[in-house]
Structure formats: C-alpha cells, structure tokens
Structure 1
Amino acid sequence: MDDHRAQVEELLADYRRSREQLVSVQRELAAVSGRASSPDGTVTAVVGGGGKLVALELSELAYRRHRPEQLAELIVRTVEAAGALAAEDTYRTLSAVLPAATDPAAVVAGTADLKPDEYEPQPAQQPARRRVDDDEDNEQRESWLDSELIDRRVR
C-alpha cells in the first residue's frame, strides 16, 4: 500500500510541476507583442498575441507625406511586420516547452499533427449548370421586361 501511495504522490507532484509550467507559459504568451515602425517613422504598430492589433500610432507627418492609399498600404505593411515579430516571440516561448521536433508555428496554426492535404484548401467544386430551355429563358426575359415597363409607367 505504501508503494501505491508513493506513486500517487509522485504523480501529483508531476502534475503540479506541469501545471506551474503551463501557468508560466500562459503568462509569457499573454505578454507577447511585436512593435514595428515604418521606414520613415510615420507609422508605428503594436501587435499582441494571436496577431491582434493593440496600438497604432500615426505621426502628423503621415498625412502630409502620404496620399490616403499610400498611407493605408504603409499601415498594412507595418502591422504585418509587427505581427511577424509577435509571432516569433510566440514561437520562441512555445519552443521552450514543446518536444524538440515539434514546429511551434504548426502548433499555433493548429496543423501540428495534420498532413498538408488535410488543411490545405481544396479546389472549389463548380455546381452543375442547369440547361435552360429557350421557352423558359424567353419567359424570364418577358417577365423582367414587364417589370421594367411597369416601373416606367409608375414614374
């Protein structure tokens, strides 16, 4: 009986250590962020865990130097750069607790134990086209024309 109790105590101790490690990793993941600025310094973005944009700063010069479409593109590129830095931080945090051969990016993407054909998009199937008879097509045209005539008369 004492052997059994010792095994249970050992299992509980392992569980507690694993749980503490999980709490620590969760805290680190909650603190993940990436910060990037545009080359000209007019846009700064901060992206948190999960790729969520948490801050966006535009300098006064941003509106003067860039036309709206250029500024929009600059914002998107800057947010992407910040997101990439946050993702690297996430992968680094996870690498410390995952088995050596495990790809942290695949774990985050949810594809770690899947084969590419299980998660890559499949080509869309085209629905079978129904052949419309000439009479049916003419009826559709006439009803459309009739409604156009009615609309014109109402005005």
Structure 2
Amino acid sequence: MPTDHRAQVEELMADYRRSRERLAETRRDLSSIAESASSRDGSVRVVVGPQGVLRDVVLADNVYDRHHPDRLAEIIVELAEQAAQAAARRAADVLAEVLPTGTDPELLLGGRADGESVPVLRNEPRGMDDNVGDSADDFCDGSWLQQSPAKRT
C-alpha cells in the first residue's frame, strides 16, 4: 500500500512540474509580445509590448514638417491604440492555449465580469493655451517651425 501513495505523490509532483514549466513558457510568450503600427506616410512608427505598454516611438527626420505637434500627438495615440489591440489579440491567442475550454481570454485580459469592455480614457490634444482660438493653423507656407512664436500657440 505505501507504494500506491508514493506513485500518486510522484504523479502529482510530475504534473506540478509540467504545470510550472508550462506557466514559465506562457509567461515568456506573453512577455515577448511586441506589435508595431506605422502612419500611412511612414513618418511615425510605434511599438508596444504586452498590455499595450509603449516601448518605442520612431519619428522620421522630417516629421515636424509633415505634422503639427497636436496632430503628431493624435497620430502617436492612434497608432499605439492599434498596436495595443494587436498585442492584446496575440496575448489572447497565447492564453487560449492554456485556459480551460470555454474560458474567454479576452475577457480575462481586459473585460469586466459582465462581459462588457472597460472604456479607455485618452487625453485629447489641445493647444498650449486653452483660451487661444482654433488650433487648425494654415501650413501652406511652411512647417509650424517656420512660423513666428505668436502663431505657434
């Protein structure tokens, strides 16, 4: 009889080791996730990691000639959001392999218990001085860097 218990304990220990190895592998897979997104004109590229954490922003040398700072900020936020969604899909794929059947990995990654996703608040771009009128400056004659300081606000 003691051997029956010993065999059970050894089997349980082997299962435990396999589970720990699978957990370590899953953690490595999740931490290696990196997704990027680029602007249409190729002047901006962002890279996000797991959970949408921003890892890198790459700007072309002439990005300030192409985009006003407010628009550049919007582009970076939009690209980071796109890349974060792709990273979340990859994370869900990784988790789907190890979760019990019927478990929704996307719900675990960012949803609420009632199944609705949590809205993500983001900063809205604004000018340096909220009292200044419309920030849609005319850039026909050059980049925003070439404007007088009074027109940049």
TM-score relative to the length of structure 1: 0.70
**1:122-133 correspondence runs (5 A):** none
* AA of the residue aligned to 2:108: V
**1:43–1:120: structure 2 CA closer, same or farther, 3 Å change rule?**
closer
CA distance in 2, matches of 1:83, 1:93: 15
How much does 1:67 deviate?
A: 1.2
Paired-residue identity, %: 46
Q: Which residue in 1 is equivalent to 2:114?
A: 115
Q: Which residue in 2 is equivalent to 1:124?
A: none
1:31-62 Cα offsets, whole Å, 9 max, x none, are 01111101111110000012110000111221
* AA of the residue aligned to 1:14: D
What 5-or-longer segments of structure 2 have no aligned partner?
A: 120-153
**1:3-152 correspondence runs (5 A):** 3-109=4-110, 111=112, 114-115=113-114
- Report the aligned-residue RMSD: 2.0
User: Which runs of at least 4 in structure 1 moved beyond 4 Å after TM superposition?
Assistant: none
* AA of the residue aligned to 1:74: I
SS in 2 for 1:32: coil
Rg larger for: 1
How much does 1:115 deviate?
A: 3.1
**1:61–1:93: structure 2 CA closer, same or farther, 3 Å change rule?**
same
CA distance in 2, matches of 1:28, 1:57: 25
How much does 1:100 deviate?
A: 2.5
| Number of residue pairs aligned between Structure 1 and Structure 2 | 118
Contact 2:107 2:115 in 1 (8 A): no
CA distance in 2, matches of 1:26, 1:85: 18
* AA of the residue aligned to 1:115: D
Contact 2:33 2:90 in 1 (8 A): yes
Contact 2:50 2:87 in 1 (8 A): yes
* AA of the residue aligned to 1:30: S
CA distance in 2, matches of 1:120, 1:10: 42
Q: Which residue in 1 is equivalent to 2:137?
A: none
CA distance in 1, matches of 2:57, 2:101: 36
1:118-150 Cα offsets, whole Å, 9 max, x none, are x979xxxxxxxxxxxxxxxxxxxxxxxxxxxxx
More helix by percentage: 1
